[in-house]
Amino acid sequence: MVNNLQTGATFIELIKKYPDLWKTPIKNQYQHAPMKTELQTTGTQRSLQQLVSNLVNNFLPAAHRNNTQLVNEVRQEIALGKSVTQSTIAVMSDLLSTVIINSKNGEIHISAERFSNTVTLEIQERNNYNGYALAFSVGAIEPLAHSFGGHIRINGPQKRVATISFSFPDQLVAA
């Protein structure tokens, strides 16, 4: 089949010659086990530190390929309420993935703060080398964050140290 491609065979000609080709499953070398994004619960509260640890562990192979270190600095006492949805977790995952994909020989630190009913997660790349791509990719995630009241900000996208802040509403329920 490679010879046919090299001689200029069209896609239609290949399908005619190999009619079952499209039925053959393609093995994706980047497939991995489903991501672990469960939240460790304590009564009505869940651990942000544990969630970030799960995300970090999911992305370790990609970070290793890019020679990037991941550091979870989220304090154990920062809890998440029941209002945190899968969309919130998806934004966290997408942001971390985006920073790792755009890193090379990087050092990524993840921290968080709670201010009343708002949690701010910060992802800091301390060896940013691909700022334009990073800013563009982060911008593509922002509409999802806005859909549930979240906000994404990037500081220093063209500087050596770039910081992505993701703020989202989260009301803790008194136990």
Distance from C-alpha of 159 to C-alpha of 155, rounded to nearest angstrom: 9
Q: What is the pLDDT of residue 20?
A: 54
Q: What is the pLDDT of residue 109?
A: 96
Distance from C-alpha of 90 to C-alpha of 109, rounded to nearest angstrom: 19
Q: What is the pLDDT of residue 83?
A: 74
Distance from C-alpha of 151 to C-alpha of 140, rounded to nearest angstrom: 12
Give the strand pairing for 79-80 and 45-47. antiparallel
Q: Which of 131, 122, 69, 140 is nearest to 100 (CA)?
A: 69
What are the structural domains of the chain?
Answer: 36-169 (3.30.565.10)
Q: What is the pLDDT of residue 68?
A: 93
Q: What is the pLDDT of residue 12?
A: 55
Question: Tens of pLDDT along the chain (175 residues)?
Answer: 444 444 444 545 545 665 554 444 433 333 333 444 454 444 445 789 999 999 999 999 999 999 999 999 999 989 888 777 888 999 999 999 999 999 999 899 999 999 988 999 999 999 888 888 899 999 999 999 999 999 999 998 888 899 999 999 987 665 4
End-to-end CA distance of the chain: 65
